[in-house]
Structure 1
Amino acid sequence: MRRHIITTADGSKTIQIEDWDEQYHSIYGAIQEANHVYIKHGLLFALGTKGYSILETSLAERTEQLSILEIGFGTGLNSFLTLLEAENYPVNIDYVGIEAFPISIEEMQALNYVEELKVPDRAMLFNQLHTSAWEEAALLTPQFTLHKQQKFFKDITAKNEFDLIYFDAFGARVQPELWTAEIFRIMYDALKPEGVLVTYAAKGSVRRAMLEVGFSIEKLPGPPGKREMLRATKKL
């Protein structure tokens, strides 16, 4: 399928799939959306429920672990923001990114997240998110381990493994098979008890699929351009 780079409303770039008229991130702001959905209502919420506050210990004293599964590794924006934000907290991140169709190095080089976030000293880390080997764990910083897996979401077999899931699949309009009870059962099983899933979506059919497999659902204010988003918790 034909893909090209576009600039979203907050100045950050994303990839558009022309045949679907679908983007990897919101046209209203790629960075704004990722920060709102996955960092504010995902990562920071999960850290808060575990009682973690802004870093008060040295790097060497970080012993707590947070395991994150990303559904749709894509441009690496969510993982990059997570890596940057986690530096402020006394936690080590184990990050698994699932992607069936990785973007090209040329596409990665056309993205401007380092510039827009004003973190030139982290440019090499953003590159490493994409150039690190698939199917192997890579220690990108002393507190952030990345394990990229090239597979379809339906082939995930993890059980009670993750504290947090970023569900960032393409929308149900173009890939409805990714928003079914079958897929959300896999997500539910992959989470630890009290684990959390966050997504930009809020369609009724998505909520019903989540409820069907046992999730407890919260509707939250959405990012720019969307009225609502969802946060789901594995309640036992």
Structure 2
Amino acid sequence: MERIIVTEDGSHSLYSELHNQQYHSLHGALTESLHIFIELGLRPALHNTETQVSVFEMGLGSGLNALLAWQLADQLKKPVYYTSIDAFPVLPEEAVLLNYESLTGQCGFAELHTSSWGADHQLSEYFTFRKEEILLQDFATGRLFDVIFFDAFDPRTQPELWTEEIFTKIAAFTRTGGALVTYSSRGTVKRALAASGFKVKRHKGPGRKTHVVKATKI
């Protein structure tokens, strides 16, 4: 089983024995997810359209990003279609031990982990969820996404996922004007994104993290 970690804002994270790394910033899992993926990524997309917003997440992980996206869709009463992939998923019996429902007030967290793979699940009036147990290198889709949550383990741990080749693959299923948000602002990451057809902008990070990245498909 993955080991539960309590981060500085009181929210849980997990430590991956496989990747020898925690799933979130130790300075606050909830703080990090809200700042990068919700406030920088999803909320602007929802405010800029009245139609369904499609989100692709690289790395379902603990399910925190998906839960927060579900919560925002319901709060704003705007439809979100959320696709997440993970080749090494967290077990449902591990996920239910995390304290995300009590911290966010959003119910239904267990459904993100117990729902079947490879199928659409209408979890609320405004939130449709789909997950695929697959490597990003093998993922294929006919859908264009408006927002990309790029939440893989960091470039030192999974260098094969932070390359121009991978970002070019992602750019192909990102709508023009769509945004990719990620916690890594390494120079190699920014250069790979720029070479793949994204306009890269650095933003202030959460807490003690200096910078994060939002890249727009051009």
Q: Please give the secondary structure, in 1, of the residue aligned with 2:123.
A: strand
Indicate which of 143, 147, 163 corresponds to 1:164: 147
Contact 1:71 1:97 in 2 (8 A): yes
Deviation string, structure 1 residues 41-96 (Cα, Å, up to 9, x no partner): 0011212333x6xxxxxxxxxxx211000100111100100111111224211100
Q: Please give the secondary structure, in 2, of the residue aligned with 1:31.
A: helix
Contact 1:83 1:144 in 2 (8 A): yes
Q: Please give the secondary structure, in 1, of the residue aligned with 2:121.
A: strand
Indicate which of 197, 211, 214 corresponds to 2:180: 197
Pair 1:96-2:83 in alignment: yes
Quote the residue 2:40 is aligned against: 41
Quote the residue 1:145 is aligned against: 128
Deviation string, structure 1 residues 89-113 (Cα, Å, up to 9, x no partner): 2421110011101111221121001
Quote the Cα distance in structure 2 between the aligned partners of 1:139 and 1:24.
26
Quote the Cα distance in structure 1 between the aligned partners of 2:194 and 2:72.
30
Query: What's the Cα RMSD here?
Result: 1.5
Quote the Cα distance in structure 1 between the aligned partners of 2:114 and 2:18.
27
Structure ID, larger Rg: 1
Quote the Cα distance in structure 2 between the aligned partners of 1:40 and 1:156.
27
Contact 2:117 2:132 in 1 (8 A): yes
Q: Please give the secondary structure, in 2, of the residue aligned with 1:197.
A: strand
Indicate which of 97, 105, 109 corresponds to 2:92: 105
Quote the Cα distance in structure 1 between the aligned partners of 2:184 and 2:178.
18
Within-5 A mapping of 1:19-34: 20-34=19-33
Q: Please give the secondary structure, in 2, of the residue aligned with 1:110.
A: coil
Deviation string, structure 1 residues 12-67 (Cα, Å, up to 9, x no partner): 111112464411111100000000000000011212333x6xxxxxxxxxxx2110
Contact 1:66 1:92 in 2 (8 A): yes
Contact 1:97 1:148 in 2 (8 A): yes
Indicate which of 123, 131, 134 corresponds to 2:114: 131
Quote the residue 1:55 is aligned against: none
Shift, 1:224, TM fit: 1.8
Identity %: 39
Q: How has the CA–CA distance of structure 1 residues 24 and 91 changed in structure 2, closer, same or farther, with 3 Å as cutoff?
A: same
Runs of 5+ in structure 2 lacking a partner? none
Runs of 5+ in structure 1 lacking a partner? 53-63
Deviation string, structure 1 residues 106-161 (Cα, Å, up to 9, x no partner): 211210011122x1xx43x1111111100011110011110111100111223561
4+ long deviations beyond 3 Å? 18-21
Q: How many residue pairs are counted as aligned between the two chains?
A: 218
Quote the Cα distance in structure 2 between the aligned partners of 1:19 and 1:97.
20
> Normalising by structure 1, what TM-score?
0.88
Q: Please give the secondary structure, in 2, of the residue aligned with 1:96.
A: strand
Letter paired with 1:67? S
Quote the residue 1:61 is aligned against: none
> Normalising by structure 2, what TM-score?
0.95
